[in-house]
């Protein structure tokens, strides 16, 4: 019996994001290119002989009850398999919160993986993905990880070949963006054809392992809505490009911006200037990381 598991829950960026339409049930149909990055939350799952789920986090403003996605993930499996024991979950956040990096979904995916392992439930990756979608549309992707095309509401996944290694600079301005606000203001069914990003072109660039071509085709249909509200996002993109990024874009509904760098030195310089230098006022959290493609 495993009594303690230490896990890493990796964040994601969107290399491309299109919204095809708003369905009658209110959900949006999307086409997104997902990429796991090396920035992660730490999760410890500790076995409890008695039933119940306890959650402890390092951020005072995150829920430590059933509203935390790690609680929901553990609860789902413990209930379904009628496990007479419980877990204590310690969550240490590093992925920016409410930032378009699927931090909560990734935490949930890690807990599904961990509880399955701890209690020997025998679920396959597909089994975990199927259950994950009940917690959130991005959870199945976070179980799978790597480079992938996500369609449907985000849960229909097609793996893509891994990209050549790149430096990924992540900068989150000190503002919070509600995903609902962004989708509500997109008016997805009124978009003109030229407003949709070229997702197929980006997939082609990924298959050719061509970072420059990929970056030249970057597109996130949500950018216009969020940037109109928060122009600082555009400023951060400009700084990253000025310092040599092959491309820079907002991730998800924002406000996180990422830049892809093929030169580690240029990435270092951009990191310095945004974190400690002339442009430090633009972003509250700045991290230099890379693509994470290891399935282990």
**Residues labelled catalytic:** 12, 138
3-state secondary structure of 77: helix
Residue 98's closest CA among 234, 256, 237?
256
Query: Residue 52 annotated as binding?
Result: no
Kindly state the DSSP code that residue 206 receives in the 8-state scheme: H
- Measured from the CB atom, is 68 or 116 closer to ligand ATP? 68
Nearest to 82 by CA among 56, 118, 57, 119: 119
Least distance from ligand ATP to the Cβ atom of residue 114, Å: 13
Backbone angles phi, psi at 172, to 5 degrees: -115, 120
Shorter beta-carbon distance to ligand ATP: residue 221 or 273: 221
Q: Which of 135, 152, 153, 130 is nearest to 144 (CA)?
A: 130
Task: Identify the burial level of 283 via C-beta atoms within 10 angstroms of its C-beta, where 0-12 means exposed, 13-18 middle and 19 or more buried.
Answer: buried
Contact between 110 and 144 under an 8 Å Cβ cutoff? The reply is no
Residue 152 marked ligand-binding = no
Minimum gap (Å) between residue 244 Cβ and ligand ATP: 27
Q: What does the CA dihedral 221, 226, 230, 234 come to, rounded to 10 degrees?
A: -10
The number of residues in the chain equals: 296
* Contacting residues toward ligand ATP, per CB under 6 A: 62-63, 67-70, 91, 97-105, 107, 138, 179, 252-253
What is the residue-wise DSSP string for 126-143?
HHHHHHHTTT-TTHHHHH
Is 103 annotated as contributing to ligand binding? Answer: yes
Q: Which is nearer to ligand ATP, 35 or 68 (CB)?
A: 68
Q: How far is the CB of 263 from ligand ATP (least distance, A)?
A: 28
Does 114 belong to an annotated binding site? no
The answer to whether 53 and 75 are in contact (CB under 8 A) is yes
Cβ at position 21, least distance to ligand ATP in Å: 19
Task: Please identify the residue of the shown chain whose CB is closest to the bound ligand ATP.
Answer: 104
100 is in an annotated binding site: yes
Judged by CB, which is closer to ligand ATP: 150, or 214? 150
User: Is 215 assigned a ligand-binding role in the annotation?
Assistant: no
Query: H-type helices in the chain, by residue range?
Result: 69-80, 103-118, 125-132, 139-144, 179-184, 199-207, 211-216, 223-229, 232-242, 264-275
97 in a known ligand binding site: yes
Q: How far is the CB of 138 from ligand ATP (least distance, A)?
A: 5
Binding-site positions for ATP read 96-106
């Amino acid at each position: 019996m495993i009594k303690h598991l230490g896990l890493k829950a990796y964040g994601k960026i969107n290399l491309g994001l299109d919204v095809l339409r708003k369905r009658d049930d209110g959900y949006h149909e999307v086409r997104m290119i997902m990429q796991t990055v090396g920035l992660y939350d730490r999760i410890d799952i500790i076995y409890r002989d008695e039933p119940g789920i306890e959650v402890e986090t390092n951020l005072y403003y995150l829920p430590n009850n059933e509203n935390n996605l790690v609680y929901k993930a553990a609860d789902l499996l413990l209930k379904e398999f009628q496990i007479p024991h419980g877990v204590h979950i310690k969550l240490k956040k590093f992925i920016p919160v409410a930032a378009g990096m699927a931090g909560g979904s990734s935490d949930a995916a890690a807990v599904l993986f961990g509880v399955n392992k701890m209690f020997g439930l025998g679920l396959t990756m597909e089994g975990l993905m199927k259950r994950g979608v009940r917690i959130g549309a991005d959870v199945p992707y976070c179980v799978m990880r790597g480079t992938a095309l996500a369609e449907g509401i985000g849960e229909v996944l097609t793996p893509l070949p891994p990209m050549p290694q790149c430096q990924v600079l992540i900068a989150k301005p000190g503002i919070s963006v509600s995903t609902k606000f962004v989708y509500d203001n997109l008016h997805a069914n009124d978009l003109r054809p030229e407003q949709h990003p070229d997702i197929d072109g980006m997939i082609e660039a990924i298959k050719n392992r061509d970072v420059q071509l990929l970056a030249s085709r970057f597109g996130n249909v949500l950018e216009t809505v969020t940037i109109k509200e928060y122009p600082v996002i555009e400023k951060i993109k400009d700084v990253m490009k000025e310092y040599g990024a092959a491309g820079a874009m907002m991730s998800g509904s924002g406000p996180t911006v990422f830049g892809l760098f093929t030169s580690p030195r240029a990435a270092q310089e951009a990191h310095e200037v945004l974190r400690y230098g002339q442009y430090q006022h633009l972003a509250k959290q700045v991290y230099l990381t890379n693509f994470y493609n290891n399935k282990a």
